[in-house]
Structure 1
């Protein structure tokens, strides 16, 4: 049973191709389940489309959902198409986002911290001239947000939980194990999964998120795992699925999950 819960499409402004292109790519890649999870709009903004190159317009959200549901019906019997979304986590706007998502039949919602203290986690410049003490504080704050996202009850999956290393590989060397452990404990207590996200291969860090060290700690704390390519082009759908499965088994995981109607479906490794 092969699945991929994390894909993006033309509506977000920085991915290629249509939703149907990703579904067809998933069939060609031998997947049984494909999750559609484009970037949520900035619902808190007065603008219809704040940051056009990052997320879809608010006015497109219903069209996105309608298209996924239409394609879900069209491909029934060939591949299981799941309705998802990758949601930013802004603690101050959590209630607004929660109320909007409650209106729609999502199979799952991925919660991702893309900004910390108002700066993109992928911004290389945030680290320039920063002392070691300040770097530790930034990393602790990032994992505090991740823990809060788990406790929010909004999400079934947490996206790329060490993606701050994407364009700053030295992030992994910053000592903050206690903050990571606290976040993992909260994730386990909240019955939320973390994804193994293979899009790190497209960034400076290479490989995938999270690191093996974090996955070993996640196993220790009883955190469940899922898979997402975070594909921004159809050719990456399901990328490294078999390699990830092998590595998880080596670490000691016995199963992973995907979500349907917000309920976990267990897949043995």
Structure 2
């Protein structure tokens, strides 16, 4: 059974989806789900993109099953490593997905991150920051959406081209291999065949550098997004020699 390992419900600031909607859609598609609510400690806007793990488990524990697991998407920043680690150690998450949403305190969703900077500058800043965080957050299970910046970059061509940034990307992939961290295949940008081809090069390189496992995620915030092109993500993993897994009790289970 395929698992969509990147799902946001109403515990995430940017999602209004109810857990009942997510369960209904997963049953329709016959897939498993891992909920990964946003936890971006020290987010610049007060009380945004954080949630109470205590309330999360209190509310959702009754829904947990072999087909629905409880995880977290932990926003990584150097100034909150210890606080993040304490949360992960305190609560029984099945899965910890590490993400880069902010660089030097600026949300890369915002135009301000790109203003006055070239694509080369902003992408290099993003990858350097990601590498620093990956070295610090050794307790995550998978690195989310390596191509996240391409969703929001304010350039005529915002595509992530491996060859343009291979030195940074290779260091990130090597670090993930060394620290036994999986790489997520995120299908959010799979509406474009060009995006699929570009990102596939990164997963092929991950295998060449010793990577062996990936997680699959739609990054859904709405019912209709659940399971989006997971079959293509699974085929991509297979074509790159990578094994698709999901995490249960912080241990990888093969799909």
- Shorter chain as normaliser: what TM range? 0.7 to 0.9
Residue 247 (structure 2) aligned to one of 249, 259, 264: 259
What does residue 24 of structure 1 align with?
24
- In the alignment, is the contact (CA less than 8 A) between 2:160 and 2:198 conserved in 1? no
Asked if residue 2 in structure 1 is aligned to residue 8 in structure 2, the reply is: no
Q: Where in structure 2 are the equivalents of 1:137-148 lying within 5 Å?
A: 137-148=121-132
Q: Distance in 2 between matches of 1:65 and 1:38?
A: 12
Secondary structure in structure 2 of the residue aligned to 1:170: coil
Unaligned runs of 5+ in 1: none
Q: Distance in 1 between matches of 2:224 and 2:14?
A: 15
- In the alignment, is the contact (CA less than 8 A) between 2:159 and 2:195 conserved in 1? no
**Offset at 1:88?**
0.6
Residue 175 (structure 2) aligned to one of 179, 186, 191: 186
**Offset at 1:145?**
2.7
Cα 1:206–1:126 change in 2 (3 A) is farther
What does residue 147 of structure 2 align with?
162
Q: Distance in 2 between matches of 1:136 and 1:246?
A: 31
How many residues in Structure 1 have an aligned counterpart in Structure 2? 249
CA deviations 1:208-246 (Å, max 9, x no partner) are: 698112112112112221101100011211110112222
TM-score by length of 1: 0.83
What does residue 129 of structure 1 align with?
116
Unaligned runs of 5+ in 2: none
Cα 1:264–1:182 change in 2 (3 A) is same
Secondary structure in structure 1 of the residue aligned to 2:117: coil
Residue 46 (structure 2) aligned to one of 44, 50, 65: 50
**Offset at 1:137?**
4.1
Root-mean-square deviation over aligned CA pairs: 2.6
What does residue 113 of structure 1 align with?
100
Q: Distance in 1 between matches of 2:225 and 2:194?
A: 14
What does residue 211 of structure 1 align with?
199
